[in-house]
Amino acid sequence: MDRTFIITGGNSGLGYQCAKNIALQNKENKVIIASRNYEKSVSAVQQLILETGNTNLQAMLLDLSSLQSVRDFSKEFSQQNFPLLSGIICNAIAGGGATKDGYDMTFGTGHLGHFLLVNLLLKKMQSGRIIFVSSDQHNPPSFIAKLNYSDALDFSFPNRKNHNVMYSFTKLCNIYCTYEFSEKLKAKTEKKITVNAFNPGFMADTGLAKPKNIAEKILKNIAPLLATLMGTRSSAIISGKLLAEYMLNSKYEGITGKYFDRDKEIQSSELSYNKINAINLWERSIELTQIQQHETIFEI
């Protein structure tokens, strides 16, 4: 059966390696590289075709920092005669400054853009798998970030929190989304769609954000060592293959609402199971993305 997979931020790093493995698994798999850098995505597609021999790859413009761009992407996708949508991998994230809608860039791209995207695309899916790429930093050591969740609005706008806190909070949001989407799909629909979260580990080969201060410079230098000592070090090649496995392997059929640390299912942080926080995030995300009833399969 021909299938379509969408990977946000698939033009480099983890997303690229995941796309490569999906393309290799079956030459009939249609892989959409969705990114805000369309030219880079086109180049990635050309390279992937050379590496995999799969010509069913395509670049599409998707700027997660613009809610209008997310809606435009969904509309364009719906107008194409693609094979059945079977997978969405929410991988992309950006940092620094504000989104086009005025939200914090990390939160806006890593959470809000994906929240809207999945809601819009669920109408196109009857069965399949959705994966949110999270991180072990959703539960960061206290010397990196301290998370105190009371309301998502506390984190929604620029300069409310520092970069490390915003990254950790956004990755926590990815897990809240995983659990809420999974629960709602099981309870309120007949769709056979699974939703899981994936921690790729520390991937030094994907590069780190440019340090903004001395503390971040020190952290960047010691991060690989810390990751090695803590057993969290990986690479885009290794984790990209694992991510594709969660999307393709039959042994994960029907498994939903779980958190995977590379190749193992584990418990996420205690905070990530806070239902009150998850409901608050869902409701605030509906408000901030201004989702209309006709755009989602869930009641709002």
What region does 33 belong to: left with phi over 0, alpha with psi -120 to 50, or beta?
A: beta
Q: pLDDT tens for residues 164-186? A: 999 999 999 999 999 999 999 99
Rounded Cα–Cα distance for residues 98 and 76 (Å): 25
pLDDT value of residue 215: 46
Six-digit token string for 163: 């970069």
Give the E-state strand segments of the chain in sequence order: 3-8, 30-35, 57-61, 84-90, 127-133, 192-199, 202-203, 233-234, 259-261, 264-266
For residue 36, the 8-state DSSP code is S
Count of CB atoms situated within 10 Å of the CB of 207 = 10
Q: What is the pTM of this model?
A: 0.91
Radius of gyration of the chain (CA): 18
The pLDDT value recorded for residue 45 is 98
CA pair distance 128, 119, nearest whole angstrom: 14
Q: What is the pLDDT of residue 208?
A: 46
- What is the pLDDT at residue 235? 83
Going along the chain from its start, the domains and CATH numbers come out as: 3-204+235-295 (3.40.50.720)
Mean pLDDT score of the chain: 92
Q: For position 142, what pLDDT does the model report? A: 86
Q: Could you report the per-residue pLDDT of 277-298, keeping only the tens digit for each?
A: 999 999 999 999 999 999 999 9
DSSP-based three-state secondary structure for 273: helix
Q: Which helix (H) or strand (E) holds 284?
A: helix 275-289
What's the average pLDDT block by block, 10 residues per block, for the chain (300 residues)? 94 97 96 97 98 98 98 97 96 96 98 98 97 96 89 96 95 98 97 98 60 51 49 77 97 98 97 98 98 97
